[in-house]
Amino acid sequence: MSALLTIVAVGLVVLTFTTRSLLGRARRRRPPADLNGLSPYELAFLAGGARRAANTVLTVLARAGAVRVARGGWITPVYGAAPSPVPMEQAVLDLLAHSGGYRASDLRRALEAHPAMAGVVGSLHARRLLTSSPSGNVGVMSVVVAVTALFVAGVAVLRPSAGPLLFGGLALLAGLISLATLARPLHNEPTADGIGLLVHERRRHRSRASAHSSGVAFPVALYGLGASGDPELIGELSTSDSGSDSSGSCGSGSSCSSGSSCSSSSSSCGSSSGSSCGSSS
Amino acid sequence: MRFLLRLLLRIQQLIGNHNQKAIRLTGVELGIGIGWRSEIDLTVERLEGVDFVEVIAENLHPPRLPESLTILRGRGLPVLPHGVSLGIGDAAPPSARRLAHLAACAEALQAPLVSEHLAFVRAGGMEAGHLLPVPRTREALDVVAENVRRAQDSLPVPLALENVAAIFGWPGDELTDAQFLTELVERTGVRLLIDVANLYTNQVNLGLPAVEALDGLPLESLAYVHVAGGYERDGIWHDTHTTSAPPQVLELLGELCARASPPGVLLEWDDDYPSDAVLADELGRIRKVVFHGP
């Protein structure tokens, strides 16, 4: 009887690991994905999430002269910039138009919560290039764990013996670990097709880049800000997360312009926080 | 060296001699420049053909200069502090604190000169909030000349004064703008920052002929020139520094260049900043007028 229980326990170990393996594979492998016509922002999200997508759109707009990046990572609208038909780009233009300016880190945060970014994510989900939480998988593994737990409990109460308890315990432990892994929301991570697409695009970009230089959007989408080839832009877009102040100059809201006199008694930047300047004359 | 330069200026004031050679001893060839603003700092750094910049002194904290200005200085570009609140045209003497700040800016930036407006900005504890014109009377000239001398004594580098734009003139003016500035230069040796956009503004708003003004100005004391754009509404020209300079302003620049060789010409753009390409084009338009005529 003990040998039979040991065999059953070993079987449970095998069942647990097999289930874990199958569910894990199924989790990443979905029905064939739609790989056509991916925008640079979708590719950027796939490669580096919302931050990469935001950095890509900021780089594209800055290089196109549609937004201006100043030292301290301060981003302002460019007067006269044409509207963009691309939702992600228009989202940045709208945010800047309403605020007058953002630090890069704040603009990225605002953009991550913007419907345009949700549109990018939605498109990637629709193309089955991003994962979403697989509740069905968790259910299957829960059944396996429950069966194993009943077996271990039964053996422990009715017929305690080392072999079945050892293998049953092992199966239960493996099942619980697998359950915890599967229950972790694998949200918005590339599916196997998504990863394959990235590998393909990077290979394609490398071969194209060797033949002729391409625009800035795809390099930044695939490899990050460093691929923009603009060290000053990289520096300003990536350093403002620390929230540091801008280089000791007055912020845009408190500076004096040459067309008016600064009317407050304070005359240096350090003490001019409350000063406003008269309109240009 | 600074002492010698000051001494030279003082001698010049005493003998009333403002011949060109003496002035040029303090002169600096500046080239084509643009007003540095924190919003466009990286743009200014990256624009080609920028030979010098001007920064609003009131926006600076001399012990902690913006990184961008330090970089520009490191490249050897002159950075000129430009004050907007000294009130050299006030009835009261300019404040020692404001002068000290302007001097500290000049020192920190190793500027070859500083500039301010020939404007009246406060009286009796009230701030105008604007650069108001000075009454062009002999009495006012005495006061302004004394204010300029005080400023010169407090500053480590030469001072240049800018003609302002106005939408009104004081009643009882005894002198034209050019006469007032000429006498001021003769008495103090102060240098001139001629804003051709302001001359144009005064022509439109006050009917003061701009070319006539150029003819009367002591252009041998010219330190540099401002160029800017604005817009007209209901017959009033608003010198906003937010648009391209209109052809009329560039024609005035051409007229000025036909009469003198300005050591520097600077584009002012203070808000509604366009793309780098537009700013570069604007500098190109100015360069073309300066070197090839309108």
Residue A30 corresponds to which tokens in the numbers above? Answer: 């979905």
In a domain, B175, yes or no: yes
Q: How far apart are CA A131 and CA A49, in angstroms?
A: 12
Of the candidates A55, A83, A80, A48, the residue with the CA atom closest to the CA atom of residue A69:
A55
In a domain, B8, yes or no: no
pLDDT band, residue A4 (cuts 50/70/90): confident
Cβ within 8 Å, pair B67-A247: yes
In a domain, B84, yes or no: yes
pLDDT band, residue A152 (cuts 50/70/90): confident
- Which amino acid belongs to residue B75? R
- Residues of A with a Cβ under 8 Å from any B Cβ are 65-66, 68-71, 74, 76, 78-81, 101, 232, 236, 246-252, 255-264, 267-270, 272, 277-281
Q: How far is A96 from chain B (nearest CA, A)?
A: 13
Of the candidates A114, A129, A150, A279, the residue with the CA atom closest to the CA atom of residue A199:
A129
In a domain, B224, yes or no: yes
Average pLDDT for A118-143: 82
Q: How far is A210 from chain B (nearest CA, A)?
A: 28
CATH of the domain at B113: 3.20.20.150
Q: How far is A24 from chain B (nearest CA, A)?
A: 49
Q: How far apart are CA A150 and CA A156, in angstroms?
A: 10
Interval A27-66: pLDDT, tens? 555 555 666 688 999 999 999 999 999 999 999 999 999 9
**pLDDT at position B9, please?**
44
Sequence spans of domains, chain A: 2-30+133-183
B16: Cβ contacts below 8 Å, ≥ 6 apart? B186, B187
Q: How far is A269 from chain B (nearest CA, A)?
A: 5
Cβ within 8 Å, pair A260-B241: no
The average confidence (pLDDT) of chain A is 79
Most A CBs within 10 A among B80, B105, B130, hence the mutation to make, goes to B130
Could you tell me if B276 lies within 8 Å of chain A, comparing CB atoms? Answer: yes
Low-confidence ranges of chain B (pLDDT < 70): 1-28, 294
The parent domain of residue B172 ranges over 33-292
In a domain, B54, yes or no: yes
**pLDDT at position B4, please?**
53
**pLDDT at position B18, please?**
36
Average pLDDT for A69-77: 96
In a domain, B3, yes or no: no
| ipTM of the complex in this document | 0.82
Cβ within 8 Å, pair A79-B239: no
User: What would you measure as the largest C-alpha separation in chain B, in angstroms?
Assistant: 52
Could you tell me if B238 lies within 8 Å of chain A, comparing CB atoms? Answer: yes
